[in-house]
Amino acid sequence: MKRIMTILTLLAFSYLATAQDKPAYVIYNAKGKKISYKKMMRSLKQKDIVLFGEYHNNAIAHWLELEVMKDLKESRELIAGAEMFEADNQEPLNQYLAGTLSAKGLDSNARLWKNYPTDYAPLVNFAKENKFPFIATNVPRKYASLVAKGGFEKLDSLSAKEKSWIAPLPIAYDPELPGYKKMMEMMGSGHGGANLPKAQATKDATMAHFILQHYKPGSLFIHYNGAYHSDNFEGIGWYLKRQQPTLKYGTISTVSQKELHTLLEENKGKADFIICVDEDMTNTY
């Protein structure tokens, strides 16, 4: 009888612990099945290129970005890159990584995002401490703005140096890709709406270009970008596979839900791995 009571007591404590558990996030696979962080990492370590899609102001995504980077570094030679750095800022970024430019100097010489100190500096500093490259992959914003206002043809008149910061011209573009098509539907054809997906494509193509330009066989390139640049295996991923279809790609997306116990249908299939975060999570800005 005493043994039975002990077992029942343990089961009761186990139930209470589960009932009171409030996870900040849950990881799902593309089909909506819950998986462990460890299982996700086993898969990612086998890839050549990993696209980590984030919400730019999500604290959990930023924490996991650093944890994933640290864990990948244990078994793979890493190269990192990010949307948050524009290609013409590669030189000051390299100088900072090499220790010849201070953090203050980097802030003065590169166009850092406002949340860089809290959200992206940890990634860059880890690369610096472990002596692996960090690549500025994004197109300079002013050139994406040119496309948004006047289409791809606005890039033709740029200088050779300016073009070196953009994916090779002409940029391939499929307006029927669901992500670009949805953007077009949301914006409408007026007020330059037809060119907004082209500006997005310019960013996606440029990030893919610089990822592949700096990728080295045998290494793993981890890239950080807004989830919308890689969700549904489109965007950056479409350009990567178009140019290098034989490489092994992995994708992560971030989503936010009120309830974490089940992945909403609309969030399934967004990536190989989906980080589902409680919508009440504190934002970093």
Helix/strand/coil (H/E/C) assignment for every residue in 134-163: EEEEECCHHHHHHHHHHCHHHHCCCCHHHH
Structure tokens at 97: 């990584």
- Give residue limits of the domains in the chain: 25-278
* pLDDT, average across residues 114-143: 98
Q: What is the per-residue pLDDT for 19?
A: 43
- ω into residue 217 within 30 of 0, thus cis? no
* Edge-to-edge strand list for the sheet holding 273-278: 34-35, 25-29, 273-278, 249-257, 49-54, 220-226, 78-86, 134-138
CA distance 269 to 63: 23
User: Is the predicted pLDDT of residue 20 greater than 80, yes or no?
Assistant: no
User: Is the predicted pLDDT of residue 11 greater than 50, yes or no?
Assistant: no
Give the tens place of pLDDT for each residue, 244-278.
999 999 999 999 999 999 999 999 999 999 999 99
Give the tens place of pLDDT for each residue, 196-243.
999 999 999 999 999 999 999 999 999 999 999 999 999 999 999 999
Residue 188: band (very low, low, confident or very high) from pLDDT cuts 50, 70, 90: low
Indicate the Cα dihedral angle 111, 113, 118, 119, nearest 10°: -110
Give the tens place of pLDDT for each residue, 149-158.
999 999 999 9
Apex CA 136: angle with CA 25 and CA 167, to 5°? 110
Q: What is the per-residue pLDDT for 194?
A: 87
What is the CATH number that goes with domain 25-278?
Answer: 3.40.50.11550
Exposed/middle/buried for residue 94 (C-beta within 10 Å: 0-12, 13-18, 19+):
middle
Secondary structure of residue 80 in the 3-state scheme: strand
- Find the largest Cα–Cα distance for the chain: 87
Residues 162-201: b if buried by 16+ CB within 10 A, e if exposed: eeebbbeeebebeeebebbeebbeeeeeeebeebbbbbbb
CA distance 260 to 115: 27
